[in-house]
């Protein structure tokens, strides 16, 4: 192990496309990691900041745990929802506090009893983008259910009779309302996290620790609770 290799600032960071991208980019900028043109809407998915020796990979949020677990990226910023679903071997270092959402089980209003309760029973069909989370949920409830994996627009499933209820992430609750779905129970909360590959965590500890310390400082000065 040469001491020199430690001195080259050499990190690959995976960033999620979509709603977490902008807050993630802003946070990194505050920590001194800014790169002109870094965008999740550009044609390119890799940005190389040669000056600082930092590579950015832009990918789907659900793929970030995979990139980081395999070490294709040293670090990633991703929602806890994707981490839970992926079940990968990652080090979860910092709660970044943005991208708050909740897992909810929701059913169409029309199937609820007059007092608003839902008749839980065996053999329910549950549509979800998060089969792992949904399975764990029904297991804890002591139910057997058929989990139907969909890739998007879960709210459609109960309306066309594909499923009795859905398990999905809810941030404002507007989608549920628009589709006349009622949240029955909340399964847990999720925010964006900084995840790290287990080997990088050891081999690039100095760079990573510095970034983590910077992120924590930014979060603290912004009044967020730091874990």
Partner 1 sequence: MSRDNFHIPPGMRDWLPGEAYRKRELVNRLLAAISLWGYEEINTPLMEYYQVLLPGENLCGPDHLYKLTDRDGRILALRSEMTTPIARVISSKLPDQYPWRLMYGGEVFRYEEIQTGKQREFCQVGVELIGEEGPEADSEVLAIAIEALQAAGLDDFTISLGHTGVLKSLLENFTADEAQLNEVRNLLLEKDFVGLGNCLLEAGMQKEKAEMLLRLLTRQFSARELEQLPVDCRPEQSQVQSQVQGQVQAQGKQEPEQLLAEWLPELADVFADLRRTLAYLKLYGYDRYIQVDLSTLRSQEYYTGMVFEIYTPGIGYTIGGGGRYDELLRHFGKDYAATGFALGVERILLSLAQDKNQTAAQTQTPLVLVAGTDPGRVVQKARELRMVGQRVLMQLEKLTPLEAEARAQAKGAVLDWCGDGEDDAR
By CB under 8 A, name the binding residues for partner 1: 1-2, 5, 69-72, 80, 89-95, 193, 197-203, 205-206, 209-210, 212-214, 216-217, 226-227
Task: State the minimum distance, in angstroms, from the CB of residue 227 to partner 1.
Answer: 4
Q: Which residue, 111 or 213, is less far from partner 1 as judged by CB?
A: 213
Q: Which tokens go with 96?
A: 């970044």
Nearer to partner 1, 101 or 154 (CB): 101
Least distance CB 209 / partner 1 (angstroms): 5
- Nearest residue (CB) to partner 1, 35 versus 91: 91
- Closer CB to partner 1, 15 or 94, in the complex: 94
């Amino acid at each position: 192990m040469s001491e020199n290799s430690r001195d080259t600032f050499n990190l690959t960071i995976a960033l999620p496309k979509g709603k977490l991208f902008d807050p993630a980019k802003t946070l990194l900028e505050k920590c001194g990691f800014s790169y002109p043109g870094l965008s999740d809407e550009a044609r390119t998915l890799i940005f190389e900041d040669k000056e600082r020796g930092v590579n950015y990979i832009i990918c789907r949020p659900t793929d970030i745990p995979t990139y980081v677990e395999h070490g294709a990226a040293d670090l990633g910023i991703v929602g806890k929802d994707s981490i839970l679903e992926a079940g990968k071997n990652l080090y979860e270092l910092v709660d970044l506090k943005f991208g708050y959402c909740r897992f909810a089980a929701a059913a169409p209003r029309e199937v609820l009893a007059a007092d608003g309760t839902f008749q839980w029973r065996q053999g329910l069909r549950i549509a979800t983008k998060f089969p792992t989370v949904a399975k764990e949920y029904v297991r804890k409830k002591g139910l057997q259910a058929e989990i139907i994996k969909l890739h998007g627009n879960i709210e459609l499933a109960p309306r066309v009779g594909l499923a009795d209820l859905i398990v999905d992430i809810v941030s404002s609750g507007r989608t549920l309302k628009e589709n006349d779905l009622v949240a029955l129970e909340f399964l847990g909360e999720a925010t964006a996290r900084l995840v790290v590959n287990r080997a990088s965590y050891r081999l690039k500890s100095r760079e990573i620790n510095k970034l983590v310390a910077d992120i924590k400082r930014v979060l603290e000065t912004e009044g967020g609770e730091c874990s």
